[in-house]
Amino acid sequence: MLTIVLRAIIIYLIVLFLYRLMGKRQLGQMQPFELVLTLIIADLATIPMAEISVPVLHGIVPLLTLVLIHFALTLLCKCSSKFSRFISGKPVIVINPDGIDYKALKNLNLTVDDIMESMRGAGYFSLAEVQYAIMETNGKMSVLPKSEFSPLTVGDMKIKADESALPINVVAEGKVMKENLKVAKLTPDDVKNLLKKAGINRVKDCLVLSVDKAGEVFAQAYNKKYTTFSTRPLGEVSE
């Protein structure tokens, strides 16, 4: 049993390292070749874990080989758009101003129900609301609504709005985030003052304290309701 435990740890660490190496794509954003890789990796990793007579190297070597293939394919896709189209396909317009493109639908092996489902996922429930819908290579559908169904934006209203400010967590779970303090251009004394203003006596009692560029503070102590207040605007926040 100890062998299985140790093998599981080794393989887990290797698979974790390999996924970290491959980047941070989510399952839904995967290209076809990435999905294939994920499925094979999952299968390969379990064989030496469960079967003691199989050497761990029998699991590790194919995993490493697949990752090398993945990098080679990724590099080729970056270098050649033709190769990228061959491997990942290309986005296809499935709904145009004339309605559903049935030919494109058949080429993609999709049904009208699939299109409606993807449309609902994108927040549109009627075909009449959609100007264009594009089936992306990762299987997700991007929808461009007709102008009368587009969400209203500040730009449409031609009004000036304050710039969106990114809140920076300076305290999280009772600990001062030193890196974030530098980004927010605050000192430990500033943090103490902000906590005092929020009615929190000690840093370790604070669940979260965040400040944004405009000086809006959000503070919450453990098991208490949050408070918000304004303070002096921060200096230029680097992101």
**Residues forming the site for another protein (CB under 8 A):** 17, 21, 53-55, 57-58, 61, 64-65, 67-68, 71
DSSP 232: P
Task: Output the smallest distance, CB 47 to another protein, in A.
Answer: 10
Task: Output the smallest distance, CB 138 to another protein, in A.
Answer: 21
Tokens of 138: 């990762």
Q: Which is nearer to another protein, 47 or 104 (CB)?
A: 47
Task: Output the smallest distance, CB 51 to another protein, in A.
Answer: 8
Task: Output the smallest distance, CB 63 to another protein, in A.
Answer: 9
Q: Which is nearer to another protein, 71 or 125 (CB)?
A: 71
Q: Which is nearer to another protein, 70 or 213 (CB)?
A: 70
Q: Which is nearer to another protein, 21 or 79 (CB)?
A: 21
Contact 227, 199 (CB under 8 A): yes
Contact 56, 10 (CB under 8 A): yes
Contact 94, 143 (CB under 8 A): no
**Strand 216-221 to 168-172 pairing:** unpaired
Q: 10 CB contacts (<8 Å, ≥6 apart)?
A: 56
